[in-house]
Amino acid sequence: CLQGIHCKSKPSSGIFNSFCHDAPVHLSSTVLKSMKISTVMKCVQGSPCSLHLNVKGTLSLHENIRGLEICSLSLDTQQSQCTHVRFARKKTKMLNGKKVQVQFNCIEVDVAQHIYVTMKTVPNYCEVKLSQEYYVEARRFDYNVDRARKIISVNVSNFLRDQDYYVRLCHKWFTCEDIGAFAVIKGKESLKSVSLKYSQLLPCLCIEGWLAIPDARRIQLCPFQNGKYYTKALWDNIVYNPVTQTLAWEPACPVLVVVNLCRLMKSNDHCEDIQNSSKNSPEKVKYSRVDTHPRLCMKFTTKAGSWVKCPFAHGEFP
């Protein structure tokens, strides 16, 4: 406790304070407010460093409040930890109404943990409670792209307890689909980097990493989502079936795009849209009974610009 209030803190089961009762009439529900959550690293010489939850709360002292209890529930494992702090009763009565800041940093957590934190009064008054979900920061990626060799080098920081870490490249749709580039960073190794090979820099290309433990939360970084990576490769997958006279395009990535058939003008190379041919995608687009004229093209329009592909421009389409 800050501001000179004497406190005693100890772990608790959370059971003794789990049932709430009505607050006294003169006790406002706002006596407890402004809970802030962060993490702190604790390092003891000769032992590995460990990560702890750091929770600060502000309470207006009241004669009917003898302390605070804070609990953390892991939403991944359903395990809970509780600590309660009790105030010296004489000081509390003398400083009735004065604001005091209480800080807890004794609850150990792991990276990438999803936590539900509650702060309650002792005794537990139903109307006086703060709660918040908190996601413990995962280990971070730094990356470099070597376009000449088509390699993404990934560096991972925030390693704790010498745990192994998986890193891969994937294409993000509803889930991140595997594209084969996969590596393990060994926790005991001093060098925390790997090189992963890619075929094309597409907007949905992501770096995904997770701890080598069961049910670990996966962290994704998708650095190529902006417009400059809307490369021509996105529009390459055009297929023509001469038997059914069907022209189809299937996206390599989920992309919001308007697709039109258009005719390329001889005079200025402008591609004039064909009426009633507009289709929205992020899914497969098909056109039936298509005339295989050399100047018949497909136009793809996104927020980043327009691209025109003319599949029959060089004779027979394969």
Do 126 and 12 reside in the same domain of the chain?
yes
Domain that holds residue 176: 141-221
Quick check: 137 pLDDT over 80?
A: no
Residue 190 has a pLDDT of 66
How far apart CA 63 and CA 45 sit, in angstroms, is 42
In a domain, 109, yes or no: yes
How far apart CA 281 and CA 42 sit, in angstroms, is 50
In a domain, 288, yes or no: yes
Do 145 and 132 reside in the same domain of the chain?
no
Mean pLDDT of all residues in 253-264: 89
Residue 224 has a pLDDT of 83
Give the burial class of 200: count Cβ atoms within 10 A of its Cβ; 0-12 exposed, 13-18 middle, 19 or more buried: middle
User: Are 259 and 299 a contacting pair, CB within 8 Å?
Assistant: yes
Q: Which of 158, 190, 221 is the last residue of a domain?
A: 221
Instruction: Look up the CATH number of the domain holding residue 60.
Output: 2.60.40.2160
How far apart CA 22 and CA 62 sit, in angstroms, is 15
Do 68 and 116 reside in the same domain of the chain?
yes
Whether the full predicted model's pTM is greater than 0.75, yes or no, is no
Write the DSSP symbol of residue 203: T
Number of structural domains found in the chain:
3
- Which residues 6+ apart lie within 8 Å of 45 measured at CB? none
Mean pLDDT of all residues in 34-39: 86
Residue 297 has a pLDDT of 93
How far apart CA 6 and CA 289 sit, in angstroms, is 84
Strands 257-264 and 279-281: antiparallel
How far apart CA 249 and CA 241 sit, in angstroms, is 12
In a domain, 318, yes or no: no
Mean pLDDT of all residues in 81-90: 79
In a domain, 314, yes or no: no
Residue 91 has a pLDDT of 59
Instruction: Look up the CATH number of the domain holding residue 202.
Output: 2.60.40
CA distances from 313 to 166, 205, 207, 220, 237 (A): 45, 30, 37, 40, 16
In a domain, 317, yes or no: no
Q: Tell me which of 1-15, 174-188, 249-263 is least confident.
A: 1-15
Quick check: 70 pLDDT over 70?
A: yes
In a domain, 2, yes or no: no
Give the burial class of 217: count Cβ atoms within 10 A of its Cβ; 0-12 exposed, 13-18 middle, 19 or more buried: middle
